[in-house]
Amino acid sequence: MTDDASKKLPSWIEEYHRDVLSFRYRVDKVLFRGQSDFQRIDIVETAGFGRMLFNDGVAMVSECDEFIYHEMISHVPLFVHGAVESVLVIGGGDGGTVREVLKHPGVRHCRLVEIDPLVVEGCRKHLPVTAAALDDPRAEVTIADGVEFVAGTEERYDLVIVDSTDPVGPAEPLFGPQFYNDVKRVLTTGGMVVSQAESCLVEFEAQQSLIRTLHSVFERVHVYNYTNITYPGGLWSFSLATDADRCPLRDFDESGVGRSGIAFRYYNPRIHRAAFALPTFQEQALAPHLTPIQRAEEA
Q: Considering the rule CB under 8 A, would residue 94 count as an interface residue with a copy of itself?
A: no
Q: Considering the rule CB under 8 A, would residue 268 count as an interface residue with a copy of itself?
A: yes
Distance of CA 246 to the CA centre of its chain: 21
Q: Segment near a copy of itself (CB under 8 A), from 51-59, 159-167, 211-219, 273-281?
A: 273-281
Q: Minimum distance between the CB of residue 136 and a copy of itself, rounded to whole angstroms?
A: 23
Given strand 157-163, what is the order of strands in its sheet?
139-143, 109-114, 86-91, 157-163, 187-199, 235-242, 220-227
CA 271 – CA 121 distance, rounded (Å): 33
CA 231 – CA 277 distance, rounded (Å): 21
Q: Segment near a copy of itself (CB under 8 A), from 97-105, 131-139, 184-192, 290-298?
A: 290-298
Q: Among residues 72, 63, 64, which one has the least CA distance to residue 94?
A: 63
Q: Considering the rule CB under 8 A, would residue 37 count as an interface residue with a copy of itself?
A: no
Give the residue with the Cβ less far from a copy of itself, 18 or 259.
18
Q: Considering the rule CB under 8 A, would residue 270 count as an interface residue with a copy of itself?
A: yes
Which member of 65, 116, 145, 163 is catalytic?
A: 163
Residues with Cβ within 8 Å of 291's Cβ and at least 6 positions away in sequence, in order, are: 219, 220, 221, 222, 247
Inter-CA distances, 244 with 6, 177, 192, 225, Å: 50, 19, 8, 21
Q: Considering the rule CB under 8 A, would residue 205 count as an interface residue with a copy of itself?
A: no
Q: Minimum distance between the CB of residue 239 and a copy of itself, rounded to whole angstroms?
A: 18
Question: Is residue 158 flagged as an active site residue?
Answer: no
Q: Which of 106, 258, 279, 292 binds a copy of itself (CB under 8 A)?
A: 279
Q: Considering the rule CB under 8 A, would residue 238 count as an interface residue with a copy of itself?
A: no
Share in percent of the chain as helix, strand, coil (round to 5): 35, 30, 35
* Residue 248 near residue 293 (C-beta atoms within 8 A): yes
CA 208 – CA 223 distance, rounded (Å): 11
* Residue 98 near residue 136 (C-beta atoms within 8 A): yes
Q: Which of 264, 285, 289, 291 binds a copy of itself (CB under 8 A)?
A: 264
Residue 224: CB atoms within 10 A of its CB come to 24
Q: Considering the rule CB under 8 A, would residue 277 count as an interface residue with a copy of itself?
A: yes
Q: Segment near a copy of itself (CB under 8 A), from 89-97, 138-146, 168-176, 264-272?
A: 264-272
Q: Which of 58, 68, 80, 174 binds a copy of itself (CB under 8 A)?
A: 68
Give the residue with the Cβ less far from a copy of itself, 28 or 148.
28
Residues annotated catalytic, as ranges: 163
- Name the residues that contact a copy of itself, by CB under 8 A: 12, 17-26, 46-49, 64-65, 68, 201-202, 225, 227-229, 231-235, 264-268, 270-271, 273-281, 283, 295-297
